[in-house]
Chain A
């Protein structure tokens, strides 16, 4: 009898637990409503991952930054189509001397909590990065900044320890302005969960890895946003994002895989050539045949990047032929090696190799860049066509990055670099001994890079980078592949133009 009661009570307990779990958990059923399209409904954006924190200037991460730019404003931004610098909270900026930058700020701008935006908030935001205790991962990029001096309410001066010509780029890509009074009052912990900025949208609710809800800021200095409510809904799986898009649950998402484009209507696809470039690195730092320039040139001739772009990527991408893409301000045209397998074999012979004697290892990530591991397979088969044996090694992303940084890759690897808007931040991080991201090194070229980076005269810089680009092509430093195509699924009732810097600013969108 007792046992019977126990089993009955267990079952009863289970039913009660079930009831307890479901009742009262209906926090918000709005997002499941598929009929919310139209001129006044909330905009729901499907996003692949969630921000790790809502504190600005902390986590170097595309996802975090993209979400935060709807809440915080930068001093300087990039134009969505061209990538050129445009002032936002800054009015203007000038270079006083090699180590001093002066920034004039816009007046009359308010934070979401009503506080005034001024020079103090700029100083506070940069100091947040510089203060070791805060553990901001941006600090490495700002280490050259000595101090930020408030000259007046709307003027700040940034003093650097060494000449820092790329500081404007750092300001545009990294720095978002926080409200000092608010952070001081509530503490960093709370400010990391309930942010206050000057941006177009104010914070409403954040359920980690679930959603981030925002509301239009009535007092926004550029005018009230066209869309009243915005929700970023976190959906890591592509197929789930696609289903959510098809059912009308979300109106916008980024990164349609190129092999799934055909499942969307033509008017539902937005495309832009990203500032991110993909390349095949040819390492002359590991022992092997690639130390010889002729072998590197031969590999350039043996790979038909146009064909891979057309077949593997269905044409979604824009070919590049040198170290920089055309969107890069320091770009100069360099000659394309083209596809010539016979010449490739000839060059190998001149270098003293028979193609059959060469075995190369090619490292690739899987799923980091569009069709990356498929591209690697295609490259391997093209090289095999002239007799070179290639072992493709597929790595998990973290492992891939670590192998590159520790120079433990094979002879070649696939990597992307972006956003690559200017010569310095691209070339400096790819072709110096310090920076491992191309694993190609040449002493003469490094000397030129270092000399050019120190120049402040824009024309001299452009000439310097032009020469470096030519040298790198002559040396066959890598096999340039393409600029990625960023593919967006866009609900037909939404106005949205994809940006070259991959940011998703709800302020720039409206309902049709």
Chain B
């Protein structure tokens, strides 16, 4: 087990390092940021002077080396625009994103798992077909569109919920519903098929023949086993959600990490972008790491492999 954990930790470090490297060169490809910061009437010497001040006139590999050297020590530099600590700015936004992600995930699980189990149990009934139909639609609807429709109905027309911003539970309802729609659809479909898989297994048939009551059959024997693959799915979704749901955050003006990164990318505020990628890569890798360990814990076969 210890070997396994050490190996996975090394992998996490590698993933974060590679993510930072790729993003570093990608953002540099988008061009020189000095032109966007200075007033358009800035003379050429001034532009050069700022490029030197910000270090953009040096060879790319030198900039990369310096960036990595500082990043290892947790220093991602300062925002090019405001001069504030880049990592600090990203961390400030994490609670808002965390709030949205966890709520959306919790809501999805609470709705999707019972629905998926029931669909599988009542396979090929009207209920099952309806739930499959709705989840297909749920996965197909683009979430910015769904978000705008929710805003139109609940904020602009009915005026019962705020259309945007953050700060209260009322502000959370619409963005959480928007984010949850997609996850619910995925989870329902996944739970249903995992459940169907298990329900056809011999041991279920045997227990059934042995006279086990339906409720314990489903809850105790079937659900528990069918939940194992869902751990991976949940981990992946949580990673995505914690990375900041860029579009949903923009539609609802939610002050989270996704919006900060999007804005910083448009402004070419590289230190913030890289600090954000660092945090997201770590979260993503760590969540998957936890999922792997859980997985190995629940299913000893994996450890053996």
Residues of chain A whose beta carbon lies under 8 Å from any beta carbon of chain B: 3-4, 6-7, 11, 14-15, 17-18, 21-22, 25-29, 31-32, 34, 49, 52-53, 58-61, 132, 135, 137-141, 143, 189, 192, 207-211, 233-237, 239-240, 242-244, 246-249, 397-399, 401-402, 405, 425, 428-429, 434-435, 437
Contacts and interface: CB of A to CB of B under 8 A. Distances in A.
14 contacts: A7-B227, A22-B172, A25-B169, A28-B168, A31-B165, A32-B161, A53-B84, A235-B164, A235-B165, A236-B250, A236-B259, A236-B263, A249-B163, A435-B41
Contact of A210 (B30, B161, B165, B224): B165
Please list the 7 inter-chain residue pairs (A to B) with the smallest Cβ-Cβ separation, ordered nearest first. A32-B162, A140-B46, A140-B42, A210-B255, A53-B82, A243-B156, A246-B156
A209 B166 CA distance: 10
Contacts of A425: 41
Given A28-B167, A31-B167, A249-B162, A60 B38 contact: yes
B263 to A, nearest CB: 7
Interface stretch (B98-106, B186-194, B207-215): B98-106
A18 B102 contact: yes
A243 B75 CA distance: 41
Contact of B170 (A32, A58, A135): A32
A140 B167 contact: no
B103 A31 contact: no
Contacts of B166: 207, 210
B163 A243 contact: yes
B53 interface: yes
Nearest to A401: B35
A143 B41 CA distance: 12
Contacts of B260: 209
A135 B83 CA distance: 8
Interface stretch (B62-70, B133-141, B147-155, B278-286): B147-155
Nearest to A233: B165
A32 B171 contact: yes
Given A31-B162, A435-B41, A240 B253 contact: yes
A239 B255 CA distance: 17
B46 A139 contact: yes
Given A237-B251, A239-B148, A240-B252, A398 B31 contact: yes
A209 to B, nearest CB: 4
Contacts of B124: none
Contacts of B298: 3, 6
Contacts of A434: 43-44
Nearest to B155: A247
A453 to B, nearest CB: 13
In this complex, the member of B220, B252, B255, B267 whose beta carbon has the largest number of chain A beta carbons within 10 angstroms is B255
A63 B36 CA distance: 14
Contacts of A15: 106
Contacts of B148: 239-240, 243
Contacts of A132: 53
A143 B47 CA distance: 12
Contacts, number: 185
B40 interface: yes
Nearest to A402: B31
A3 B224 contact: yes
Contacts of A31: 162, 165, 167
B259 A209 contact: yes
B109 interface: yes
Contacts of A18: 102-103, 106-107
Given A17-B102, A22-B172, A29-B170, A234 B253 contact: yes
A17 to B, nearest CB: 5
B38 A137 contact: yes
Given A18-B106, A60-B37, A398-B268, A248 B263 contact: no
Contact of A25 (B30, B31, B81, B168): B168
Interface string B59-79: 000000000000000000001
Nearest to A29: B168
Interface residues of B, number: 65
B109 A243 contact: no
Interface in B14-53: 30-32, 35-44, 46-47, 50, 53
Nearest to B46: A140
Interface in B224-247: 224, 227
A36 to B, nearest CB: 12
A25 B30 CA distance: 38
A211 B165 contact: yes
A247 to B, nearest CB: 5
Contacts of B36: 398, 401
Contact of B152 (A29, A207, A243): A243
A240 B163 contact: yes
Contacts of B79: 52
A398 B266 contact: yes
Interface string B82-113: 11100001001000001100110111010000
A247 B36 CA distance: 35
Contacts of B205: none
Contacts of B259: 209, 236
A243 B169 contact: no
A435 to B, nearest CB: 7
Nearest to B171: A32
Given A140-B42, A243-B156, A25 B99 contact: yes
A357 B138 CA distance: 52
Contact of A437 (B40, B165, B266): B40
B303 interface: no
B123 interface: no
Contacts of B152: 243
A209 B255 contact: yes
Contacts of B165: 31-32, 210-211, 233-235
Most A CB within 10 A of own CB, among B82, B89, B159: B82
Given A21-B98, A210-B167, A402-B31, 17 more contacts: A14-B106, A25-B169, A52-B79, A53-B84, A192-B84, A209-B260, A234-B255, A236-B250, A237-B164, A239-B151, A240-B163, A243-B152, A244-B155, A244-B163, A249-B155, A398-B266, A401-B35
B253 A208 contact: no
A208 B172 CA distance: 18
Contacts of B268: 398
Contacts of A397: 266
A53 B89 CA distance: 12
Given A25-B99, A237-B251, A243-B152, A59 B81 contact: yes
Contacts of A235: 164-165, 253
A133 to B, nearest CB: 10
A22 B30 CA distance: 39
B179 to A, nearest CB: 13
Nearest to A19: B106
